[in-house]
Amino acid sequence: MKVLSIKYEPCAKIYKLSGKRRPTLRAHRFCCIGRKDNVVVKRNDLAYVRCENGLAQVLPAYEARDKLHIGQKKVRITIKEIQTEDELEAYHQLEEYHYRGKVLHGRRVPLIVCSNDPLLPTVLGYIELATAFMMNKPRKTLFDDLFEDDDGKITWKKWEKDTVRAYTNLVVRIARTVVSPEFRGLGLASKLVKHASHFARNHWHVGRLKPLFIEITADMLRYVPFVESAGMHYIGDTEGNLNRVSKDMSYILKNYSRVKGGEILKEDSSGIVDLQVFYATRLKEIETQQGLSREKLLRLLLRSPERLSDDDWAMLHRILRVPKPTFLAGLTNSSMQFVRKRIKALAIPDRYPAKRPSQREKPLKSCIEMRGCTLELSSLLIRSQATRRIQEAFGVERDMLSTRLFSNLDLTIQPGNIVLICGPSGAGKTSLLSLLKHQLDDSESNLRCTTGSLTVPDGAEVSTLSPLTNSKPLINSLGRCSFDRALFSLNVSGLAEAHLYVKRFRELSNGQRYRAMVAKLIASNANVWIADEYCATLDPITANIVSRNLHRCAKEFGVTVLLAAANWGCFIHELRPDTIIHLRSPWDSRVFSWEDFRIAMKRSLYLRD
């Protein structure tokens, strides 16, 4: 049955069909049946679109189960097409938060991820599939060889102009991948990519073609190539327009009236011409509004974006497109084998050379050793009428103001170890952390071990968790570090939102401020990181994300980490410290390995649900 017309409802589409037995078909809002598609409707509300290379299922809507691991907890999730008004509204809210009204056009299908937990958001994230761009240089290079699909229906010898026109729709594009800020860092984006691939393989179709390949091109993948863990392969960088934009714009501006009149550069199945005309129209506006000569504008276009002044960049950035990494994967056995074969033949790296932060830290040269250490603190008794009454009533004497925090503590901290000091409030966590810090950075302090010895290696560089005191954008506020390291540190600290990169510290929420402080810690070149009241102001989900990434970064960089926390139960399974110092009382302090502490937690009645 042919699709004759489509009626749109807020959360559904009504298709008028040519068949008499089934004159209409009701589907969900983003169902990708198009006009003139040949629809096959079977029993039990199964519906397909007949394509040149098989049937693409369109009903029932895609729905699959998965789970997230947050510490020791498992959160069950569902990845699905949008079917209800609540899901549609939640999707639009997340879309507006991230893209501020920039809506994708053309055929697109969002897959949302939901949870049945009533205390979690309706939509935790989404991935959006769209039609592929016709022009993509790394794709052209990869596809320019003999290809034949599993059933032999799709084949080409070279990826030439006619092949591009006939078969571009064999590629489906990941246009957007969005995860709610609260859930970034849990691997949800990679899960969405895997489900998008499964959906595309059986459900997506354009121009009577089912896709054989899935592709994504995005600048953010330079810093976070998360699609690799979902099985996608780096195939090269797009060309951008920096090499040709000045030449193209010179021609179009000289012939601007003919272009607008449709005499030249008529659109011919490729949106690239539309882009060129848009760029020329924008330049024409700049020429008029700024009073700049055409010659000066074209000279500016010859410069690389990095060499433009802030004002010139702001004026031209919507025209300049820098090269972006492209990742691609096959969706069938033959297409997967073809991609692997071509990557090997073209000597493309197995993994994308992501812009990771430079590793300049040098681990501590030797251990931190505590032997038989006892710490006592004394307070000065201040005389007043009120304190005299307290002394008389309760028998408080001057020598009672001396407090022992721990005694006979033996401890060895290996270089690169993560150490967590835990225990109830007032047990001495902060004092022990301060004692270690002042000894490591050789700063003045009244804290000294009353008995025993504390030895630390030379060459320690200490960075302490502390507020950011400047008024610069966050991306410029993390100290003397490279852009790559600053961006990496913000991302792994849970501040993976583009609009947060350019905000100032004082403009953040309290939780975001804490994460910015953690980012500054990670961005430093110190070989010892110290944090008191670790994750005290974070919700359990964010605390787990921060702890997971802190562990990964510390181990990757060889940094020694010293932390103190009272609420350790909500994040310790992601932090996985090498050593736990548990301070219960002056006469009860214990040192555990991670494995021994896990056993103790399992046996503890206090920690059982």
Share of the chain above pLDDT 90, in %: 50
Q: How far apart are CA 65 and CA 77, in angstroms?
A: 6
Structure-token pair, residue 595: 């494995």
pLDDT bracket for residue 172 (50, 70, 90): very high
Structure-token pair, residue 303: 């410069």
Phi, psi (degrees; rounded to nearest 5) at 557: -95, -10
pLDDT at residue 361 in the model: 65
pLDDT bracket for residue 270 (50, 70, 90): very low
The yes-or-no verdict on residue 244 having pLDDT over 80 is: no
Which tens digit of pLDDT belongs to each residue from 505-564?
999 988 889 989 999 999 998 999 999 999 998 888 889 989 998 999 999 899 999 999
Mean pLDDT of the chain: 86
Q: Is 531 exposed, middle or buried (0-12, 13-18, 19+ CB in 10 A)?
A: buried
Beta strands in 210-280 (DSSP E): 213-217, 233-237
Identify which of 168, 187, 169, 319 has the alpha carbon closest to the alpha carbon of residue 241.
319
Angle among Cα 433, 479, 368 to the nearest 5 degrees reads 30
pLDDT at residue 494 in the model: 80
pTM for the predicted model, two decimal places:
0.82
User: What average pLDDT does the segment 263-269 reach?
Assistant: 50
What single letter denotes the amino acid at residue 298? L
Q: Is the peptide bond before 415 cis (omega within 30 degrees of 0)?
A: no
- Which has more pLDDT, 283 or 350? 350
Which tens digit of pLDDT belongs to each residue from 41-78?
987 779 999 999 999 999 999 999 999 988 888 899 99
Q: How far apart are CA 500 and CA 493, in angstroms?
A: 12
Q: How far apart are CA 127 and CA 387, in angstroms?
A: 65
pLDDT at residue 267 in the model: 42
In order of start, what are the domains of the chain with their CATH numbers? 3-59 (no CATH), 63-238+324-345 (3.40.630.30), 245-316 (no CATH), 367-461+525-609 (3.40.50.300)
Q: How far apart are CA 21 and CA 434, in angstroms?
A: 80
Report yes or no: 369 and 453 within 8 Å, Cβ to Cβ. Answer: yes
> E strand or H helix at 178, and its extent?
strand 171-179
Three-class SS state of 251: helix
Report yes or no: 405 and 375 within 8 Å, Cβ to Cβ. Answer: yes
3-state secondary structure 152-203: CCCEECCCCHHHHHHHHHHEEEEEEEEECHHHCCCCHHHHHHHHHHHHHHHC
Which tens digit of pLDDT belongs to each residue from 568-602?
998 999 999 999 999 987 778 899 999 999 999 98
Angle among Cα 101, 225, 327 to the nearest 5 degrees reads 85
Phi, psi (degrees; rounded to nearest 5) at 14: -115, 120
User: What average pLDDT does the segment 472-496 reach?
Assistant: 87
What single letter denotes the amino acid at residue 80? K
Structure-token pair, residue 334: 């033959």
Q: How far apart are CA 607 and CA 504, in angstroms?
A: 39
What single letter denotes the amino acid at residue 565? A
pLDDT bracket for residue 389 (50, 70, 90): confident
